[in-house]
Structure 1
C-alpha cells in the first residue's frame, strides 16, 4: 500500500494546529482507500504552545503522527529538510500549517504522482494578500525565472508533492542558505504544475517578516544564479572602456592645444560613482564568499532536540 508522508513545518502555530490537522484528516477521504498516511510535524523552536498542540494531535492519532522538535530556530526551509529526513512515505507532500494552501488539491497532486510524475507543484496563480506583498512576490519570482532557473513555473510555489527519490536527493545534498523548493526543480525531474489561489490567513499572525523575505531572495538568487558576478564583470569592462575613451579624449585635447575642461564636479561624480560600484561589488562577492565559508564549516542544518515516534 502506498504511504503518503505529509510534512508540516510549524512555528508559532499553536492556534492553527487543531484546525489544520482536522482539515488534513478530513481530507484523507478524497484519496483511494489503499493509501496510508504519515504526518511529520516539525516544530522550529516555537516560543508558544505549538509543541503541546502537536502532542495533543499525536495522542489523537498515535499510529501515524511523528513530532520532530528542533533545538533552535533554523528557518522553515531547514525545518522542512528535517521533516524530509524523518519521513518514510513512498511520496511526500509539504504544506504550511496555516491553511493558506488548499488541502483538497493534494488528492489531484497524488493522482499525477500515480501517473509517474516524480514532482507535482501547486503553483500560486493568485494570492488573497495585500497589494505590496503580491507585487514583491511577483517581482521575486520573475527575477528568478529570468536570471536563475528558467524551468520554474511563474507565480512561485511552496506546496509540492514529490517522490521518495526526490526526497532522498534533497536530504543527501544538505544544501545550506538555499531554497528547498527551487532545489527540487534544479534536480531536473519532470514535473506537472497545478495552479491554485492562495488563501488569506484566517488564524494567527504570519512570522514571515520583511527581513526573512529579503534573506530568502538573496539565498535563492545567489544559490542558483551567477548573474550578479557576471554583472560586476560586465559593468567593470564598460567602466574601463569609458575611462579609456575619456582618457584618449583628454590626450587629444592636450596634443591639439585645446583648453581642457575644468572637471572638479565631474571628477567628484566619477569618484563617488566608481567608489559606490566598488563597495557594491565587494558586497556581492562577500555574499558568495560567506556562503562558501558557511558550507565549508559543514555545520548541521538543524539539531533535533526530541522525536516522538508513532506508537
Structure 2
C-alpha cells in the first residue's frame, strides 16, 4: 500500500485552510483505492489563527494529519524542508495552501511516479494573475532558465511530486539560502513536466512581498549559477582593455600635441564608471561570501516548536 505525504507550508492562511483541506480530501477520490494519505501541514510562524485552523483539520482527520509548528518564520522553502523531514510517505508532494495549484493534478502525478519517474513537476504553462506579479514571476523564471538551470521547464514550477529517495537526497544536502524545487532538478533525476494554468488567489492576500521575491532571485541565481562572477571577470577584462587602449591614446596625444586640453571631464567619467563597477563587483562577491559564512555557521534551517502527531498526540521534536 503506497503512502503519499502531501506537504503544505502555511503562513497566514487561516481563511484558506478550511477550503484547502476539503479540496485535498475531495482529490483523494481520483487515486487508486490502495493509496493511503498523510497531510504534513507546516505552520511557518504565522501570527494569526492558522495553527488553530490546522488543528481543526487534524481533528476532522485524526489519522491523516500531522501539524508541524515552527518556532518562527523561516520562509516557505525551509518550511518545506521541515515538512519533508517529518513526512513518512513512499512518495511526497508539495503544494500551496492558497489553492492556486489544482490538487486534482496530484493523481496524474502519482500515475507517472508509478511508471518509475522519481520527480514530476507541475509546470505553470499560464497563470490567471495579471500585472506586476505576473511580470516579475515570468522574469524570474526566464533568468533562471538562461543563467542557471537550462533544463527546467518554461514558466517555472513550485508544485512538485517526488519519490522518497529524492526527499532523502535533499535533506542530506542540507542546502542553505537555496531554492528547494530547483535543487530537486539539479540532482539530475529524469522528470516529467505536466502543464497547467495557475489559478488566481481568491482567499486572503499573499505574504510573498517584493523583498522576499528579490531574495529568492538572488538565492536561486547564486546557488545554481556562476554567471554573476563570470560576468564580473569579463566586464573587468573588457574595462582593462579599454583603459589600456585609452592610455596609449592619451600618451600619443600628449607626444603629438602637448598643449591639448587635459581632458578632466573624460577622466571623471571614466573614474566614476570604474568606481561604480568596483562597488557592484564587491556587492556580488559579498553575496557569495555571506552565503559561505552562513553555511559555515551551520545554524539550523528551522526550529520546531511542537509536532502535533496524527491522533492528537504531541510527538518528539526532530532536529533539522
TM superposition score normalised by structure 2: 0.96
- Structure 2 CA distance for aligned equivalents of residues 273 and 206 of structure 1: 39
Work out the CA distance in 2 between the residues paired with 1:259 and 1:101.
Answer: 72
Give the distance between the partners of 1:86 and 1:257, measured in 2 at CA: 78
Q: How does 1:53-92 map to 2 (within 5 A)?
A: 53-92=53-92
Tell me the matched-pair count: 311
Instruction: Quote the RMSD (CA, aligned, Å).
Output: 0.9
- SS of residue matched to 1:158: strand
Q: Secondary structure at the match of 2:275?
A: helix
The whole-number CA distance in structure 2 between the counterparts of 1:260 and 1:136 is: 50
Counterpart CA distance in 2 for 1:253 and 1:23 is 77
Counterpart of 2:318 in structure 1 is none
Structure 2: segments with no counterpart, 5+ residues: 312-320
3-state secondary structure, aligned to 1:38: strand
1:132 aligns with 2:126: no
CA distance in 1, matches of 2:63, 2:204: 29
Counterpart in 1 of 2:170? Answer: 170
Specify the alignment match of 2:187 in structure 1: 187
Gaps of 5+ in 1: none
Shift of 1:131: 2.2
Question: 2:220: which partner in 1?
Answer: 220
Aligned to 1:13: 13
Q: Deviations over 1:84-124 (max 9, x none)?
A: 00001110000000000001111001000000000000000
Q: Deviations over 1:14-61 (max 9, x none)?
A: 010010001100110000000000000000010000000111110111
Q: Corresponding residue for 1:299?
A: 299
What's the counterpart of residue 27 of structure 2?
A: 27
1:286 is aligned to 286
Equivalent residue number for residue 157 of structure 1: 157
- 1:9–1:79 contact (8 Å) kept in structure 2: yes
For 1:42, the equivalent position in structure 2 comes to 42
Question: Which residue of 1 is the match for residue 245 of structure 2?
Answer: 245
Shift of 1:259: 4.1
Q: Provide the C-alpha distance between the structure 1 equivalents of 2:260 and 2:193, rounded to a whole number of angstroms.
A: 63
- Encode CA deviations 1:204-256: one digit per residue, 9 max, x unaligned: 11100100000000000000001001111111111110110011112222333
TM-score (norm 1): 0.98
Summarize deviations over 1:264-286 as a string: whole Å, max 9, x none. 11111111111110110000000
Q: Encode CA deviations 1:139-159: one digit per residue, 9 max, x unaligned.
A: 111111111101111101000
Asked whether 1:119 is paired with 2:88, we answer no
Deviations 1:140-196 (A, max 9, x none): 111111111011111010000000000001111111100000000000000000000
Alignment of 1:200-215 (within 5 A): 200-215=200-215
Checking the alignment, whether the CA contact within 8 Å between 1:253 and 1:259 is kept in structure 2 is no
Q: Deviations over 1:251-310 (max 9, x none)?
A: 222333464343111111111111110110000000000000000000000000000111
Q: 1:2 maps to what in 2?
A: 2
